[in-house]
């Protein structure tokens, strides 16, 4: 396929949306490779301890859906793009906990136990923030593993340019004589990775309550919208993949004896196409609200509320 010829025949808004999507996804690195720069400090976001807290020490682990770049003030020195208004910060403030946030845009489960690449630095594993004294841990991870989000949205968006009325991504992922859909296979593997990660948290922080935070649904329950660069027939396909990922996370949490925060269920009606009710940003990055295709403050507030409700400390 001649990509240049294809783009010329498509509406410019779809081509621009696809290009912007790929640019945003470039910030979400996939599985990290070997270290290539000097290892530095993780530069976590921290808060001072309060002795009257029900959870005196809280550690937040995760990727950009935990870091929440742009919600609203975001540190840029480390390249992790960690917000001071993300759900983890809100939970820590309500719990009055000593708080360490090592979430980082681009993180995968590999970043929990191995070197983490960000900007021009390589940082220690996120698990380095855990200790025997940790009393609460939240983890939001999995979408960057095995290039899942990058393929599911970025590749699907590009394929959609060639066949906007069909289902080119679904067809491609099931093609080549595969017994099983390629991305469904990846989600199955991610479930194992997340299970192992949760068990690793229990090993390093045996006294901690552990919570796995799911992902919101970025696609509408039915229909399509112009701001999402997907072929019409791929909307239900990608929507189902997000459901499968969250189901895999729920299963991993159950197996590893962790709580699961069902953000997917709470996000119904708050997809990218929901206008003022959207919890996830569309194609245009707003430096004071959210990176393209990343959560708004409303989503982060909702997640914080779900965590506090699960902790039964919301009143």
In order along its 315 residues, the chain shows pLDDT tens digits of 333 332 233 334 444 444 444 444 444 444 544 333 333 334 555 555 555 889 999 999 999 999 999 888 877 777 889 999 999 999 999 999 999 999 999 999 999 999 887 667 788 999 999 999 999 999 999 999 999 998 987 899 999 999 999 999 999 998 866 778 999 999 999 999 999 999 999 999 999 999 999 999 999 999 999 888 899 999 999 999 999 999 999 999 999 999 999 999 999 999 999 999 999 998 777 777 888 789 999 999 999 999 999 998 644
Q: 0.95 exceeded by the pTM?
A: no
Verify whether residue 294 is a known catalytic residue: yes
Query: How many residues does the structure list for the chain?
Result: 315
CB of 193 closer than 8 Å to CB of 119: no
Compute the distance between CA of residue 312 and CA of residue 304 in angstroms, rounded to an integer: 12
Catalytic residue selected from 89, 111, 294, 315:
294
Q: Is 70 exposed, middle or buried (0-12, 13-18, 19+ CB in 10 A)?
A: buried
Q: What pLDDT was estimated at residue 48?
A: 53
Compute the distance between CA of residue 58 and CA of residue 300 in angstroms, rounded to an integer: 17
Among the listed residues 107, 146, 103, the one whose alpha carbon sits nearest the alpha carbon of residue 29 = 107
CB of 121 closer than 8 Å to CB of 40: yes
Q: What pLDDT was estimated at residue 154?
A: 85
Query: CB 309: neighbour CB atoms within 10 A?
Result: 12
* Angle CA 11–166–169, to nearest 5: 95
Q: What pLDDT was estimated at residue 34?
A: 33
Compute the distance between CA of residue 267 and CA of residue 263 in angstroms, rounded to an integer: 6
Q: What pLDDT was estimated at residue 11?
A: 38
Q: What pLDDT was estimated at residue 39?
A: 34
Q: What pLDDT was estimated at residue 1?
A: 32
**Residue spans of alpha helices (H) in 256-296:** 263-266
Catalytic residue selected from 64, 97, 103, 111:
64
Domain 3-311 has CATH 3.40.50.1110: yes
């Amino acid at each position: 396929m001649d990509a240049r010829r294809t783009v010329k025949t498509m509406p410019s808004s779809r081509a621009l949306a696809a290009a912007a999507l790929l640019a945003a996804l470039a910030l979400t690195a996939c599985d990290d490779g070997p270290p290539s720069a000097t290892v530095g400090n993780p530069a976590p976001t921290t808060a001072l301890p309060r002795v009257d807290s029900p959870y005196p020490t809280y550690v937040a682990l995760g990727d950009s859906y935990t870091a929440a770049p742009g919600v609203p003030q975001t540190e840029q020195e480390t390249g992790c793009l960690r917000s001071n208004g993300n759900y983890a910060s809100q939970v820590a403030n309500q719990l009055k906990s000593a708080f360490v946030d090592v979430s980082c845009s681009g993180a995968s489960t590999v970043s929990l136990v191995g070197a983490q690449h960000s900007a021009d630095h390589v940082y220690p594993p996120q698990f380095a923030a855990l200790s025997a004294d940790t009393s609460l841990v939240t983890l939001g991870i999995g979408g960057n593993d095995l290039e899942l989000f990058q393929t599911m949205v970025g590749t699907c968006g590009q394929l959609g340019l060639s066949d906007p009325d069909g289902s080119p991504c679904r067809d491609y992922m099931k093609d080549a004589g595969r017994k099983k859909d390629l991305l469904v296979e990846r989600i199955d593997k991610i479930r194992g990775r997340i299970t192992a990660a949760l068990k690793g948290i229990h090993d390093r922080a045996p006294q901690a309550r552990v919570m796995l935070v799911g992902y919101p649904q970025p696609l509408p329950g039915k229909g399509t919208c112009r701001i999402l660069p997907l072929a019409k027939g791929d909307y239900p396909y990608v929507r189902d993949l997000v459901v499968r990922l969250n189901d895999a996370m729920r299963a991993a949490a159950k197996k590893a004896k962790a709580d699961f925060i069902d953000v997917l269920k709470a996000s119904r009606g708050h997809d990218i196409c929901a206008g003022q009710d959207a919890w996830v940003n569309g194609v245009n990055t707003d430096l004071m609200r959210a990176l393209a295709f990343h959560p708004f403050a409303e989503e982060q507030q909702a997640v914080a509320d779900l965590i506090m409700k699960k902790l039964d400390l919301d009143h």
